[in-house]
Amino acid sequence: MALLPFRKKQSEPQVPFNGAVEALLRGYSIEVMPRTAAKVDDFRALFPAGTRVYLAHIDGTTIDEMTATARRLADAGMHVMPHFPARIIRDSAMLGDWIARYQGEAGVDQGLILAGNPARQTGDFVSSMQLLDTGLFDKAGFTRLHVAGHPEGNRDIDPDGSDTNVMAALRWKQAFSERSDANMALATQFCFEAKPVIDWVNALSDAGINLPVHIGVAGPARLQTLIKFAIACGVGPSLKVLQKRAMDVTRLIQPYEPTVVIAELAAYKAANPACNIEQVHFFPLGGIKTNANWAIAHGGAATAPANNS
């Protein structure tokens, strides 16, 4: 009988939570979709007042669904940041209509501007830079504009595995931030290791890109769920953290929690307060309530700070 290729039991790393972790979690943001938000009866029971809630716009979701969810979140006292994915926006008229509807129906004044997932564009736009260049967000008085960051690279943007195109885009966005009245930040893809993220943030700073960075972190979830999403979203080398865990049968059945990565990021931020890491952005892959309760249990229940407005 062949032996299963599982490693011996390894104890879960124990990293103490402290004031540095609370400081990093204070003002965290979180991402929802209309279909996942529909499962939440009362956002106020889960999120601190003023929490920034990213509203993901998946291809096929209608603007009616998006604005209705935005209105629910705003009525609950949240700061709503809808996605504006370039590749599913037909033209400037559609972009202007979306902006007007979000403002008129939910008081939205911020957005995550990104290329989006479809491989082929459906209209005039293919990149976040083209959306920003329309001037429509500035004209509408959006106070905050976030753009995507990729600490482990992005094969869709740089098929050769380099960071040439990604860095060129970030330099453009840095220049745009300097001529825009809106506050800007980078919201990153989720990763499972702190060191590559820290190295990437420092490399950006060395390159003259000083946009604040909101580090994407996967919330608590079943390991199989995380691996599925990580592969689908193109997570890079830090995926090996999950793969290594999957080799241990005693940990395979335990839900993953972002304990270690957040503690290490918090310790680095506390020791290097001038670094561009500003806060955590959660991807609640194991469920909104599960993620929110984990954040509350680890110090993330404080009122969101002023930079969340």
* DSSP string for residues in 137-152: HHHTT-SEEEEEE-TT
One-letter amino acid of 232: A
- Which candidate, 139, 226, 215, places its Cα nearest to that of 180? 139
CATH of the domain at 105: 3.20.20.220
How many structural domains is the chain composed of? Answer: 1
Q: Is residue 67 included in any domain, yes or no?
A: yes
Q: What's the Cα-to-Cα distance from 152 to each of 29, 67, 144, 216, 267, rounded to whole Å?
A: 21, 32, 25, 12, 21
Q: Residue 14: inside a domain, yes or no?
A: no
Distance of CA 143 to the CA centre of its chain: 19
Q: What percent of the chain has pLDDT over 90?
A: 64
Q: What is the pTM of this model?
A: 0.85
283 in any annotated domain: yes
Query: Tell me: the pLDDT tens digits for 73-110?
Result: 999 999 999 999 999 999 999 999 999 999 999 999 99
Residue 3 is assigned to a structural domain of this protein: no
Whether the pLDDT of residue 68 is over 80: the answer is yes
Q: Is residue 4 part of a domain?
A: no
Provide the residue range defining the domain that includes 91: 19-298
- Yes or no: say if 275 and 22 are a contact pair by the CB < 8 Å rule: no
Residue 8 placed within a domain? no
pLDDT tens-digit map of 104-127:
999 999 999 999 876 677 899 999
Does residue 80 lie within any of the structural domains?
A: yes
* 43 domain-assigned: yes
